[in-house]
């Protein structure tokens, strides 16, 4: 990777104050089959790492080994080597260092897991009850006819769904659930026992990447690109979340960029930014758009990648663009997949 940006450039925007938002319900977006064979960037690999970390923190070394083993099955090449190191640490019964390595692989969002106590989980349970999550998800998050069971979700899945939901679920702002309450709530959910493993759902990842790329575009002063990403978020959501997206768009179109940034910052309060460089986010958006057969969007995203890149990465990006322009979609998909490995 030639041009790695500072990883946490988005954090600045997230430290913004609160705005009040509106109530409503949402519909489920359609999920598209993947075009890529074998390697699927939306597999729930992070979930295995997270479950390994929870197991390590519970002192359950064998369960941790089991989870890391699963992870290695799905992991991209560059992650597999790090997972090997963790495996060795687990085999040597060095749980403390294994936990450290797991946190660094999952990203800073996982650090709070290492601070979980019985009190945190109990507090999280109260946040769950007081906000009526159980009304839809069941008293013990076991799932109902209207909403899924909650064991087996990643930290990211929980946080983003609370703040920026897809499907038929209301938005919970940080006035309703503060960022520290969100941490406790997340701790409660990710430590729930249960066999349900949530599949990686690429549409949600795609929606969130558009939000993060919005901040990148703003940081570069590219308002048109920023508008593009928010418009795309709007294609994934409905109800309350869509109302908010429309408000953000109206502010952007009126030229009030500061307010738009504040609104998005509020909307994502307490949600951790991705643990990967912006150029990779563009590659993932290109691949996702290609899987959805939205070639115009794929070309838009690869052009953004090319602008950020140099050397071999840039050359590969240009190859992908040529292939897309000539409708050689399979070939484009293979190169993109390799670029993400």
Phi then psi for residue 105, to 5 deg, are -75, -40
Burial 97-124 (b: 16+ CB within 10 A, else e): ebbbbbbebbbebbebbeebeeebbebb
Rounded-to-integer distance, Cα 12 and Cα 218, Å: 12
User: Is the Cβ of residue 104 or residue 176 nearer to ligand HEC in the bound state?
Assistant: 176
CB of 169 to ligand HEC, least distance (A): 4
Can you state the percent helix, strand and coil of the chain, rounding each to 5? Answer: 65, 0, 35
User: Is the Cβ of residue 123 or residue 153 nearer to ligand HEC in the bound state?
Assistant: 153
* CB-count burial class (<10 Å; 0-12, 13-18, 19+) for 275: middle
Copy the structure tokens of residue 266: 């509020």
User: Is the Cβ of residue 114 or residue 131 nearer to ligand HEC in the bound state?
Assistant: 131
* CB-count burial class (<10 Å; 0-12, 13-18, 19+) for 231: middle
CB of 158 to ligand HEC, least distance (A): 4
Q: How big is the chain by its Cα radius of gyration, in Å?
A: 20
Q: Name the residue whose CB lies closest to ligand HEC.
A: 167
Query: Residue 88: which H helix or E strand, with range?
Result: helix 77-91
CB of 6 to ligand HEC, least distance (A): 28
CB of 25 to ligand HEC, least distance (A): 7
Q: What is the maximum alpha-carbon separation in the chain?
A: 60
User: Is the Cβ of residue 157 or residue 309 nearer to ligand HEC in the bound state?
Assistant: 157
Cβ atoms within 10 Å of 4's Cβ, excluding its own: 12
CB of 22 to ligand HEC, least distance (A): 15
CB of 191 to ligand HEC, least distance (A): 13
CB of 127 to ligand HEC, least distance (A): 7
Binding site for ligand HEC (CB under 6 A): 28, 131-133, 135-137, 146-148, 150, 153, 157-158, 161-162, 166-170, 172, 185, 198, 201, 204
Copy the structure tokens of residue 293: 């057969």
User: Is the Cβ of residue 61 or residue 198 nearer to ligand HEC in the bound state?
Assistant: 198
User: Is the Cβ of residue 64 or residue 208 nearer to ligand HEC in the bound state?
Assistant: 208
Angle of CA points 316, 322, 323, to nearest 5°? 90
User: Is the Cβ of residue 218 or residue 267 nearer to ligand HEC in the bound state?
Assistant: 267
User: Is the Cβ of residue 137 or residue 229 nearer to ligand HEC in the bound state?
Assistant: 137
Copy the structure tokens of residue 300: 């838009």
**Do residues 104 and 85 lie in contact, with contact meaning Cβ atoms separated by under 8 Å?**
no
CB of 11 to ligand HEC, least distance (A): 22
């Amino acid at each position: 990777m030639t041009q790695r940006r500072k990883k946490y450039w988005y954090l600045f925007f997230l430290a913004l104050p609160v705005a009040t938002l509106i109530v409503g319900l949402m519909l489920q977006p359609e999920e598209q089959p993947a075009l890529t064979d074998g390697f699927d960037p939306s597999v729930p690999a992070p979930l295995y790492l997270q479950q390994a970390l929870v197991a390590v923190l519970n002192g359950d070394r064998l369960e941790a080994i089991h989870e890391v083993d699963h992870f290695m099955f799905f992991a991209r090449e560059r992650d597999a080597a790090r997972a090997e190191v963790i495996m060795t640490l687990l085999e040597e019964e060095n749980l403390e260092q294994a936990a450290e390595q797991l946190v660094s692989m999952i990203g800073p969002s996982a650090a709070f897991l290492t601070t979980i106590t019985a009190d945190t989980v109990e507090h999280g349970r109260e946040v769950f009850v007081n906000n009526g999550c159980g009304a839809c998800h069941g008293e013990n998050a076991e799932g109902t006819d209207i909403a899924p069971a909650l064991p087996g979700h990643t930290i990211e899945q929980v946080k983003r769904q609370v703040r920026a939901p897809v499907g038929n679920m209301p938005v919970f702002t940080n006035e309703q659930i503060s960022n520290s309450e969100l941490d406790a709530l997340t701790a409660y959910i990710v430590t729930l026992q249960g066999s349900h493993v949530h599949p990686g759902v690429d549409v949600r990842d795609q929606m969130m990447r558009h939000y993060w790329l919005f901040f990148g575009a703003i940081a570069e002063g590219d308002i048109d690109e920023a508008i593009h990403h928010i418009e795309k978020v709007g294609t994934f959501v409905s109800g309350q979340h869509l109302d908010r997206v429309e408000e953000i768009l109206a502010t952007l179109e009126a030229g009030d960029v500061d307010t738009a940034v504040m609104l998005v910052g509020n909307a994502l309060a307490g949600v951790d930014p991705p643990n990967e460089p912006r150029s990779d986010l563009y590659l993932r958006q290109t691949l996702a758009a290609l899987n959805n057969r939205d070639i115009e969007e794929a070309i838009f995203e690869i052009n953004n990648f090319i602008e950020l890149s140099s050397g071999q990465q840039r050359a590969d990006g240009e190859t992908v663009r040529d292939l897309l322009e000539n409708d050689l979609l399979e070939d484009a998909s293979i190169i993109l997949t390799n670029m993400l490995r």
